[in-house]
Amino acid sequence: MNNPFPGMNPYLENPVFWAELHHRLITAIADAIEVNIPQQYQVAIEQRTYLSDDSDSVSVGIPDVSVFSKQLAPQHSSTTQLSTSEGITVIMPMPENVTESYLEIREIATGFVVTTIEIISPKNKKAGEGRKAYESKRKKVLASLSHLVEINLLRSGKPMSILGEVAISDYYIIVSRSNTRPKAKLYTFSVQQPIPSLQLPLQSEDIEPILDIQSLLNSIYNRARYHLRIDYNLEPVPPLKADNAAWCDTLLREKKLRE
């Protein structure tokens, strides 16, 4: 069964599906690019690793029901008896090793990174180590001679910084060419719209291939059999805004996916 949405499927933003989708989409983009770029380039799947101890971790908390100390019964002894208490069981925030994948198009002969392609993750859009790690990498790319393609398919969280007053829709793609910085192209689209195709920036003398993320997402949806795993009678996580929720309800009922 095909993806019932014209663009990004909001149900795939659910943490239950997102990590798998991110992995599959990174691989699909790499494979699609590989056959459409000049022979002097390679597409490398790279990884960024950091130790996360941000608000995604379980915090130390006080339980709803307190446990009080028990008073010992009086003892007839010349030795002074001390009262003891039973400790409260709490949960400690455990540091988490996080690995995020991204793509680099490199010149084989020199190793020069021509283009970096990032798919934003939930931790990148929340305050904490994940955002710090990505912002650090982003600054390095923007200060280099490499192009940056930043793909955001997540509605929740804080968007990455853009100077000036720009209305951000549900999703966006930024294409920052090294030779036009600080100017960049911003493509915004809602849950009701298809994901826009874009020209993949390479060297100035190269023919730039078209990156059709929508087709890749639709293919992944079919191969991963998400239609068997998603319950469209439930609301997506995170929930849609009121206007999009009404549109989504109509769409799913028309396609016989919601009762």
What tokens does 203 get?
């060297």
Q: Residue 15: enclosing H or E segment and its boundaries?
A: helix 15-34
Tokens 């923007």 correspond to: 142
In this prediction, residue 153 carries a pLDDT of: 98
Judged by DSSP in three states, 105 sits in strand
Q: What is the separation of C-alpha 105 from the centre of its chain, rounded to a whole number of angstroms?
A: 21
Mode of pairing for the β-strands spanning 41-52 and 185-189:
unpaired
pLDDT value at 67 more than 70? no
Task: Give pTM, 2 decimals.
Answer: 0.83
Judged by DSSP in three states, 56 sits in coil
Please tell me the distance from the alpha carbon of residue 93 to that of residue 17, in angstroms, as a whole number. Answer: 24
Mean pLDDT (whole number) for 210-225: 98
Which bin fits 258, alpha (ψ -120 to 50), beta or left (φ > 0)?
beta
Comparing CA positions, the residue from 202, 213, 175 lying closest to residue 39 is: 202
Of 59-63, 136-140, 205-209, 225-229, minimum mean pLDDT range: 59-63
Please tell me the distance from the alpha carbon of residue 201 to that of residue 115, in angstroms, as a whole number. Answer: 7
Q: Residue 26: enclosing H or E segment and its boundaries?
A: helix 15-34
Dihedral sign computed on CA atoms, order 144, 141, 47, 173? negative
Dihedrals phi, psi of 198, to nearest 5 degrees = -145, 155
Where is mean pLDDT largest: 52-56, 80-84, 98-102, 237-241? 237-241
Dihedrals phi, psi of 25, to nearest 5 degrees = -70, -40
Dihedrals phi, psi of 227, to nearest 5 degrees = -65, -25
Amino acid identity at 173: I
Mode of pairing for the β-strands spanning 171-176 and 96-107:
unpaired
